Amino acid sequence: MNAPKDDTKAGNFLRAIIERDLAAGTYAQRHFAGTPGDAAHHAAGPTDAARIRTRFPPEPNGYLHIGHAKSICLNFGLAQDYGGVCHLRFDDTNPEKEEQEYVDAILDAVHWLGFDWTAGGVEHLYYASNYFDFMYRAGEALIEAGHAYVDEQSAEEMRSSRGDFNTLGSDSPFRARTPAENLARFREMRDGRLADGAAVLRAKIDMASPNINLRDPALYRIKRATHHNTGDTWCIYPMYTYAHPIEDALEGITHSICTLEFEDQRPFYDWLLDTLCNLGLLAQPRPHQYEFARLNVTHVVTSKRKLRALVDEGIVAGWDDPRMPTIAGLRRRGYTPASIRLMCERAGTSKAGGWTDYASLDIALREDLDAKAARAMAVLDPLRLVLTNWDELMGAGTIDACSAPVHPAQAERGRRAFGIGREVWIERDDFMEQPAKGYFRLFPGNRVRLKYGHVIECTGCTKDDEGRIVEVQAALVPDTKSGTPGADAVKVKGVITWVGATDGVEAEVRLYDKLFTDEQPDAGGRDYKASLNPDSLRVVSAIVEPSLATSQPDDKFQFERHGYFVADRIDHGEGRLVFNRTATLRETFAK
């Protein structure tokens, strides 16, 4: 796969860091044993052929969203561009929230986006929970070296003795315990001799540090919970801030890229890895953490918790609802991997946060699909048009064959065939009984061209008892059929799309629009559900041209004049046509 090239790459500060490290040979002598492991394990292996190692470390507690796509494109993209390898690591150290469904969906999403964690025939797919043994061993090593202690203060005491931004912390009465006492107590924690929450293992750093994260952060807590991978082996689990740097180091990661909220954790990341390297437990040179601003996209929320609420409360139909900013949702909506990669690339990578306009995704989609998508005609709001002189001019029951290119700029892709007869379907808004100023489409007395067909002249319309227009009448203008000699002699200002009543096919079309009307639905802690767009989904019964009858799930089309549509990957097929609107043709708030 080729990562999309774009000049915004120059603005990616992480490239500068990697290029600096490559130039300095920072990681050139690093060994990698082929699998994750401690210092001894890697020392026995060869010099790492991968020039850099990055990782994408999702927690398997939900579906990935557009923000994760940014992180995937960044980590896999940098590895690709610099002769490196990117690992996919499930950060499953939290025993309670993880499920196989999410693991499967994440694997699927990363592959679909066009990335692979297999390099040189080796699968770099890892589970952080496989490192529990090492993490425990590192815990004991920290204790023995006097760098960690078991604290048995109550949660409340621990909170207040930590101090805050203005107040220095104070030492726990348990801080002075000897390594031997701590070791015995830590083993009791592990062996289930203490109740949940009765003690924690803490790093012994500095209770007066200006960085609160260095005031003896917790490393292990007691929690009796069954883990999906390790079962009931453990009743103590490592804290994320302890586990993550160790995971990186065991895997030989060079550049550990995360979002800005971890910036304040970096000093602890450095302290922990330096300490464990000095104890000879972890290989050097060790990984370094770099932070960038998370991707925020307008009109969506990107928090698994909030997305889960939308699913659980039935506000959307599921994690893959085409309105969801999940990768599964974007895929079902019809966005392509290339469009998502391009959008993420253009959003740039910087330290300064900001919002990326949702429209940039649609722009990227149009760029990707313009040359790829087959064209088709569809009438989304059908109104019957009767050509009153058809039988007289063409003969009763005659169907006149018409055709159109599959793609207007790619003649080699052939032509679509469809027929015109006495009755055709047109868009309801392509007719006005009393035309507004500047309206060039159908109104009594006006001529338009039926695209790829004939010029017609409107003669009137019929209404039902409620005054609703149920039929429009027009007369065919002879010798005006597209592609025949002299067809252009009759000039018209309007061209409208249509589908023949005889060969048109019924289809369900789902018109999707923004899920939230607010640009920043959850900014400043606002209730994002307050700005749900009541018109985010409109389902219409459309009539589409016959070429679409054989379309397959996931096939993408440009419906002429309407936008880009995809055959729904779940509901389309078996005699049922279902299309989702991915994006309109231009940036208007969809009608």
Q: Is 241 in the site for ligand ATP (CB under 6 A)?
A: no
205, 295, 310, 476: residue in contact with ligand ATP (rule CB under 6 A): 295
CA distance 565 to 99: 33
The token pair at 189 is 């924690």
Give the bridge partners for 220, in sequence order. Answer: 201, 238
Select from Mg ion, ligand ATP, none the partner in contact with residue 304, using the beta carbon and a kind-dependent cut-off of 5 to 8 Å. Answer: ligand ATP
Q: Could you tell me which residues come within 8 angstroms of residue 322 by beta carbon, excluding any fewer than 6 positions away?
A: 329, 332, 333, 334, 510, 512, 580
Catalytic residue among 162, 175, 187, 294: 294
**Known catalytic membership, residue 294:** yes
Length in residues, the chain: 591
Q: Is 70 in the site for ligand ATP (CB under 6 A)?
A: yes
Question: Contact region for Mg ion (CB under 5 A) — 54-62, 214-222, 244-252, 415-423?
Answer: 54-62
Question: Contact region for ligand ATP (CB under 6 A) — 54-62, 441-449, 454-462, 494-502?
Answer: 54-62
Residues 59-78 as x/- pattern, contact with Mg ion by CB under 5 A: x-------------------
| Residue keyed to tokens 């007369």 | 475
Nearer to ligand ATP among residue 298 and residue 502 (C-beta): 298
Which 116-155 positions form the footprint of ligand ATP (CB under 6 A)? none
Please compute Rg for the chain using Cα positions: 31
Residues 244-273 as x/- pattern, contact with ligand ATP by CB under 6 A: --------------xx--------------
- Cα three-residue angle 274-272-22, rounded to 5 degrees: 50
275, 302, 360, 580: residue in contact with ligand ATP (rule CB under 6 A): 302
SS3 of residue 8 by DSSP: helix
Q: Is 161 in the site for ligand ATP (CB under 6 A)?
A: no
Nearer to ligand ATP among residue 309 and residue 540 (C-beta): 309
Q: Is 68 in the site for ligand ATP (CB under 6 A)?
A: yes
Helix (H) or strand (E) holding 331: helix 327-333
Q: Count residues contacting Mg ion (CB under 5 A)? A: 1
Give the bridge partners for 507, in sequence order. Answer: 542
**Known catalytic membership, residue 261:** no
Could you tell me if 218 and 238 are in contact, meaning their C-beta atoms sit under 8 angstroms apart?
A: no
- Cα three-residue angle 524-525-530, rounded to 5 degrees: 110
The token pair at 179 is 């390594």
Catalytic residue among 202, 304, 514, 581: 304
Nearer to ligand ATP among residue 157 and residue 261 (C-beta): 261
Nearer to Mg ion among residue 12 and residue 71 (C-beta): 71
Q: Burial-class residue 489 by CB neighbours within 10 Å (0-12, 13-18, 19+).
A: exposed
Select from ligand ATP, Mg ion, none the partner in contact with residue 561, using the beta carbon and a kind-dependent cut-off of 5 to 8 Å. Answer: none
Long-range CB contacts (< 8 A, 24+ apart) of 117-124? 117/86, 117/87, 117/88, 119/50, 119/85, 120/49, 122/34, 124/85, 124/86, 124/87, 124/88, 124/251
Q: Is 71 in the site for ligand ATP (CB under 6 A)?
A: yes
58, 238, 337, 453: residue in contact with ligand ATP (rule CB under 6 A): 58
Nearer to Mg ion among residue 59 and residue 429 (C-beta): 59
- Cα three-residue angle 95-187-191, rounded to 5 degrees: 55
Q: Is 59 in the site for ligand ATP (CB under 6 A)?
A: yes
Q: Please identify every residue annotated as catalytic.
A: 59, 294, 304
Residues that bind ligand ATP (CB under 6 A): 57-59, 67-68, 70-71, 258-259, 294-295, 302-304
